[in-house]
Structure 1
Amino acid sequence: GVRNAEVRGSNPLASTTQRSGRSAHSSDAPDDGLIATPEGVEAVAEAIRAAGAFTLDLEFVPENRYVPELGLVQVGWDGGAGAEALEVAAIDPLVVDPSPVLELVGDPAIETITHAAQGDLVILAHRFSVRARSLWDTQIAAAFLGYGDQIGYAPLVESVIGMRLEKGSQYTEWLRRPLTDQQLSYALDDVRYLGTIRERQHAALDADGRLQAVIEECDRLAETAASRPPPEEAYRRVKGWSSLRSRPLGALRQLAAWREREARRANRPPARVLNDRSLLELARAAPVSDDGLRAVRGVDGGLVRRHGDALIRAIREGRDDPPERDQARKPLPPQGEVWAAALHGLVRARSLGASVAPRFVGPRSDIEAVVRWWIEGDRDTLPDLPLLTGWRGDLVGDAIVSWLRGEAALVVDADSPGGIDLQPR
């Protein structure tokens, strides 16, 4: 759940502004600096529990896999004796189970500090059944402090701390052993400075009243990454799905669900099982034989031999049971499209004026939801929509409603960061 902002006021990670030597390094760490024994992992977990917070980064290999393969776990924590006591460690998940450390991500009493954690959180959820409970993502926090959307770790470290990081090992094959000293140093730098950045971000956000918004967005990221939509919803991720009529759409839903299950089973990207264009064509053509399947581009003989019966069954069952059309996904009427475009500009302008990355304020789907309410709903009752509630409601929701009600007009404002603003009528 959303964490209480006041609980986050003190940072148990020591602030450090200098490059300290690699310290991992308990007596259980081998000569190459990698912790590779259960005793070493448990010692790190115990130290983190005592500190109450830790920095985390995972190195992984995503290519040709449904869930990326974990190659290295890096953590940092306060050793308890001031700025010189920042401890960092690298755990080798190829030879020892890192679960005792990774499970701490799910402990609400221990803060996990990360940067751009989406990929890491997916691995934690799908490979270790861990959902982050007290997450601080420095990339999200930076987006609320005028750094723009998705700033990289190295430029953030340079901006906040003044340390220029080497990025020469960025594309290391993290499943290959042994790792070099340079690769380990690169990996450990990814957790060495996160505590200091978090501390300074927290203070700045607390001062300008945005701390709770960042906490909510970090928790939203944790929830999204840990969720795994049912295979029956996978068709909505197929490019071009919304163009299909009812029965072909039913076929696509079953075909995409089959592909999703097969991708999970084989640990392959869905597109490597069968690409989107072939799925769409199968849904449209609705073949009923192996020859009909082979006539579709991208469906080779091997796939037909292994899965032909399953594909034909999916097409038949899907056409017999098409999904109901989601009313929220109907195109807006022309008037609504114009309103949505205007509101998109207003949301973006308000976001830029507040030094918040617009992506976190209102995607187009949220803007369209407001327009649908205005067209179809009770205008006298504000609905529980993201743009109209919480911190978004304070930032843009009141302005949106004022504009829709004709109480204010959009005007050009060359002096504002967003270029437009509202003026009362």
Structure 2
Amino acid sequence: MYRYTFIKNPKALRDFVERHRRVPWMGFDTEFIGERRYHTLLCLIQVSSPEGLFLIDPLAVKDLSPFESLLASPDIMKITHSGENDYRLFFRKSGLTPRNVFDTQVAAGFVGYAYPVGFDKLLRTELGVHLNKSYSVTDWQARPMQEQQLRYALDDVIYLRDLWAKLDEKLRKAGRLAWAQQEFKVYESAEMYEVDPNKEILNSNLMRRYGQKDRLFLMRLLRWRDKEARRKNYSREMVLSKKNIPDLVKAMRSGGDALAQNRRLPQSVLKKYGRMFREMASRPITEEEKQLLSEIPRSTSAHPRYELVLELLYLLVQFKCQAAGISPALAMPRHIIRALKEDITYKAPILSTGWRRDFLGGDFLDWLARADSLEIRFLQDKIEILKKG
């Protein structure tokens, strides 16, 4: 049985914070509910530190700014595993970005583990600890909480300090601690957590298949769905199912009568929103909408050779990573390759400086940035990759 302190009122939280002002490290994790909601609900905060084990109930203690001051302190090392989502919760709530971060999932990617590696696998391999995952799906909002739930939650922080010690030692031996610290710094940047309000529109595969008129309606539809979900604090899927969107766009293309007669669309949706959908389709386009539509990435099917060259370069990254024991998903996130395919002029900021340039080499990253100008020659006993001109 674990000995812990459960914090359920503001005074207890203030006392906790005062005890932790000068601790050198603090492991933490959160439990939350994001399903069927627009705004994720923070339900529990778990903390391990030299002071002991602690649970904080955010449903009982509404003002978490004292705890946030510890996350923002550069004097306390925060140890997490896959902490991005935990920090994002606090960023969306108060704009907080952490300082002095060590993430065990990121660190593991530099010392031979695939990224992202699961917490239970990392614990088994590094510490010989096997976690009980029977409460991985549970109602964290329900009160009172069961003792088994609390023990499960504490398992996520109890071993963080020992895991940090193991991975820190491996990073130092491999000469990669500075590289990992550069990657941890990303967690301290607001850009890590900011979300483009037009992200769903710009990333929609449907957008790339449609003509201008259908794109305009789809853009308006997605914006309305997001606004409605935010207003009701529903998931977007609860407002309008993703599977119904192509049928809705097709029906509007054929006119209002086709919308009313479409048997694939839920009648409840048509009855409630049919008139609004028709009005949405009939409005003249605005300048702002024209600008956004112009930013939608074009299909890359017209550049098959360029895509193949990018994939070849990515395979070379994977080969080098395998030899070095660094996860290719860290060295070259797949979204960068996708972005380069969509836009030949795309410049990935994370490739311009830092550890990736040290590891992969400046010349190779220049190849990647100018993949459209590379020439591949198959010779008798070798293959050459040359820059044209």
TM-score by length of 2: 0.81
Counterpart contact for 1:74–1:91, Cα < 8 Å: yes
Which residue, out of 318, 325, 343, partners 1:348?
318
d(CA) in 2 for partners of 1:251, 1:71? 38
Deviation of the 1:57 alpha carbon: 0.8
Counterpart contact for 1:146–1:355, Cα < 8 Å: yes
The 1:263/1:64 distance shift into structure 2, 3 A limit, reads same
Which residue, out of 71, 77, 82, partners 2:49?
77
Counterpart contact for 2:171–2:177, Cα < 8 Å: yes
Equivalent position of 1:24 in the other structure: 4
- Bigger Cα displacement from structure 2, 316-325 vs 347-356: 316-325
What is the DSSP-based 3-state SS (H/G/I as helix, E as strand, rest coil) of the residue aligned with 1:286?
Answer: helix
Counterpart contact for 1:67–1:123, Cα < 8 Å: no
Query: What amino acid is the match of 1:366?
Result: I
The 1:409/1:188 distance shift into structure 2, 3 A limit, reads farther
The 1:289/1:121 distance shift into structure 2, 3 A limit, reads farther
CA deviation vs aligned residue, 1:216-268 (integer Å, no higher than 9, x gap): 333435645521322x3321343432212223222222211111111122222
Counterpart check, 1:270 vs 2:242: no
Equivalent position of 1:93 in the other structure: 58
d(CA) in 1 for partners of 2:378, 2:350? 22
Equivalent position of 1:165 in the other structure: 131
Which residue, out of 25, 39, 45, partners 1:67?
39
d(CA) in 2 for partners of 1:108, 1:312? 54
Which residue, out of 368, 375, 390, partners 2:354?
390
Query: What amino acid is the match of 1:227?
Result: E
Counterpart contact for 2:247–2:265, Cα < 8 Å: no
Deviation of the 1:58 alpha carbon: 0.8
d(CA) in 2 for partners of 1:264, 1:407? 49
Equivalent position of 1:43 in the other structure: 15
Counterpart contact for 2:48–2:54, Cα < 8 Å: yes
d(CA) in 2 for partners of 1:139, 1:236? 29
Equivalent position of 1:315 in the other structure: 281
Deviation of the 1:62 alpha carbon: 2.3
d(CA) in 2 for partners of 1:288, 1:402? 47
Query: What amino acid is the match of 1:78?
Result: P
Query: What amino acid is the match of 1:54?
Result: M
Deviation of the 1:354 alpha carbon: 1.9
d(CA) in 2 for partners of 1:422, 1:195? 48
Counterpart check, 1:399 vs 2:371: no
The 1:158/1:384 distance shift into structure 2, 3 A limit, reads closer
Equivalent position of 1:16 in the other structure: none
Equivalent position of 1:337 in the other structure: 307
Counterpart contact for 1:288–1:312, Cα < 8 Å: no
Equivalent position of 2:246 in the other structure: 280
- In structure 2, runs of 5+ residues without a counterpart are none
Counterpart check, 1:212 vs 2:184: no
Counterpart check, 1:154 vs 2:120: yes
d(CA) in 2 for partners of 1:352, 1:409? 25
Deviation of the 1:353 alpha carbon: 1.8
Deviation of the 1:326 alpha carbon: 3.9
The 1:179/1:327 distance shift into structure 2, 3 A limit, reads closer
d(CA) in 2 for partners of 1:197, 1:92? 26
Counterpart check, 1:229 vs 2:193: no
Counterpart contact for 1:58–1:120, Cα < 8 Å: yes
CA deviation vs aligned residue, 1:321-353 (integer Å, no higher than 9, x gap): 443444864416222122112112111112222
Counterpart contact for 1:343–1:400, Cα < 8 Å: no
Query: What amino acid is the match of 2:193?
Result: A
Deviation of the 1:109 alpha carbon: 3.9
What is the DSSP-based 3-state SS (H/G/I as helix, E as strand, rest coil) of the residue aligned with 1:54?
Answer: strand
Equivalent position of 1:380 in the other structure: none
Identity %: 27
d(CA) in 1 for partners of 2:378, 2:3? 57
- Bigger Cα displacement from structure 2, 398-407 vs 143-152: 398-407
d(CA) in 2 for partners of 1:194, 1:205? 16
Query: What amino acid is the match of 2:43?
Result: G
Equivalent position of 1:84 in the other structure: none
Counterpart contact for 2:208–2:297, Cα < 8 Å: no
What is the DSSP-based 3-state SS (H/G/I as helix, E as strand, rest coil) of the residue aligned with 1:136?
Answer: strand
Equivalent position of 1:58 in the other structure: 30
Query: What amino acid is the match of 1:22?
Result: Y
Equivalent position of 2:156 in the other structure: 190
CA deviation vs aligned residue, 1:159-198 (integer Å, no higher than 9, x gap): 2222222222222221222223222122112111112212
- Bigger Cα displacement from structure 2, 89-98 vs 39-48: 89-98
Equivalent position of 1:367 in the other structure: 337
Deviation of the 1:22 alpha carbon: 2.9
d(CA) in 2 for partners of 1:409, 1:43? 68
The 1:294/1:78 distance shift into structure 2, 3 A limit, reads farther
